[in-house]
A and B are shown apart, each in its own frame.
Chain A
């Protein structure tokens, strides 16, 4: 079955860019039919949808983060990535990647904790 795994630095300095990658196994991003999402969860708080990308490269972002977010896809590596610029302590969160077929995310990665601190 499809599995997702996040990777990237666990510590990012303020004002820098957070970069994470999600590797998909057991299925191909380029087969289409799914949106590939990023979601985050602040410590002790609820879930926040960041954005997603389609295999074609079409992207959609949460309006509240849109000015700082870039999501990209590398179908040759079966990966998609998140970049969040100008981070502050408020961006400290667990970041999840997930697959969305139509009706909410049905497959999630395990999540990766990113702390923003100098």
Chain B
């Protein structure tokens, strides 16, 4: 099974900061990776799919990159509403999917 490891598991940053979250796959998954944001008590929302494609309606400050085993989600200028937990999801090994463990982002 493909394992997904996110880092850091938690972080605190100030408004305006550039934030980078990493997701590493235990084996190559091409670009079959999505990123989700989940705010407390809310439903996860897809931000990025196919590693770098921005979901419609998602602010352009969010971007994704990477291929193979290492991927990043970048928030170019952190906004107060960006707090929450971010998850990656690999869908290379269809039909079996795997989420990363999550990265909790807090606003300083």
Contact = CB atoms under 8 A, between A and B. Distances in A.
Q: Do A and B belong to a common assembly?
A: yes
Given A46-B99, A46-B101, A60-B95, A103 B43 contact: no
Given A103-B34, A104-B36, A104-B91, A47 B43 contact: no
A60 to B, nearest CB: 3
Nearest to B43: A108
In this complex, the member of A48, A103, A104, A106 whose beta carbon has the largest number of chain B beta carbons within 10 angstroms is A104
Contacts of B91: 100, 102-104
B102 A46 contact: yes
Size bracket of the B interface: 20 to 34
Interface residues of A, number: 21
B13 interface: no
Contacts of A46: 85, 87, 99-102
Interface of B: 1, 32, 34, 36, 38, 43-46, 49-50, 53, 55, 85, 87, 89, 91, 94-102
19 contacts: A46-B85, A47-B36, A47-B38, A47-B44, A47-B87, A47-B102, A48-B99, A49-B99, A60-B95, A60-B96, A63-B1, A63-B96, A103-B32, A103-B91, A104-B49, A105-B46, A106-B55, A108-B43, A110-B43
